[in-house]
């Protein structure tokens, strides 16, 4: 089993996160941010990752620190759970419809962190959630996971649908990328010999 456990405590957040890449999509998410809980639950289900995350954060200020720091922790958990990355497919992509929204994501577990984000979210809020925090989450995640992540919006006008489509799309791209390829189970998927 490819598991990771991350603890991160700062003056702004106290986070505990457990991840199993080879799970069934079970999740318990208590971040203090209801919309993020919803997105992480969808992420776990669509990626078939088991995820348990709890956070006590300074949400009396706003949700920025909570959202970004959970992105950091989730990224670190992916990097830890993948270990030396032997046998992984490495790449994954999908174009995912979410009602009127259509979101493309592509992942390369390259060892180099980078997020290339092109969503145009029409509102500043979904409920109490600041929609600009979606990009902050994915930047933190990609940098700390050490992967290249592209997220593109091909269609969409509903902010909730666009963000939800992104979480589902990235989860399914990651599910494909972290899968063990039985034809290359003992190999690093790179001519460099490391990722």
Segment 45-62 mean pLDDT: 97
Does the reported pTM lie above 0.75?
yes
What integer pLDDT is reported at residue 192 of this predicted model?
82
β-partners of residue 110 are: none
Segment 82-93 mean pLDDT: 96
- Is the pLDDT higher at 108 or at 189? 108
CATH C-level class of 3-184: alpha beta
Domain regions of the chain by residue span = 3-184
Residue 194 pLDDT exceeds 80? no
Residue 134 pLDDT exceeds 90? yes
Residue 110 pLDDT exceeds 90? yes
195, 90 in Cβ contact below 8 A? yes
CA–CA distance, 113 with 167 (Å, rounded to integer): 18
Residue 177 pLDDT exceeds 80? yes
């Amino acid at each position: 089993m490819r598991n990771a456990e991350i603890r991160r405590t700062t003056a702004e957040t106290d986070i505990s996160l457990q991840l199993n890449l080879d799970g069934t999509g079970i999740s318990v998410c208590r971040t203090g941010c209801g919309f993020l809980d919803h997105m992480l639950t969808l992420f776990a289900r669509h990626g078939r990752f088991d995820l348990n995350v709890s956070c006590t954060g300074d949400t009396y200020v706003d949700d920025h620190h909570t959202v970004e720091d959970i992105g950091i922790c989730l990224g670190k958990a992916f990097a830890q759970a993948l270990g030396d990355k032997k046998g992984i497919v490495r790449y994954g992509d999908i174009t995912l419809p979410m009602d009127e929204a259509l979101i493309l994501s592509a992942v390369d577990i390259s060892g180099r962190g980078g997020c290339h984000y092109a969503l145009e979210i029409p509102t500043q809020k979904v409920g109490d959630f600041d929609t600009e925090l979606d990009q902050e989450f994915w930047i933190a995640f990609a940098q700390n996971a050490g992967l290249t992540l592209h997220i593109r919006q091909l269609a969409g006008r509903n902010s909730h649908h666009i963000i939800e489509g992104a979480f589902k799309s990235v989860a399914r791209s990651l599910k494909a990328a972290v899968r063990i390829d039985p034809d290359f189970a003992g190999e690093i998927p790179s001519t460099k010999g490391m990722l």
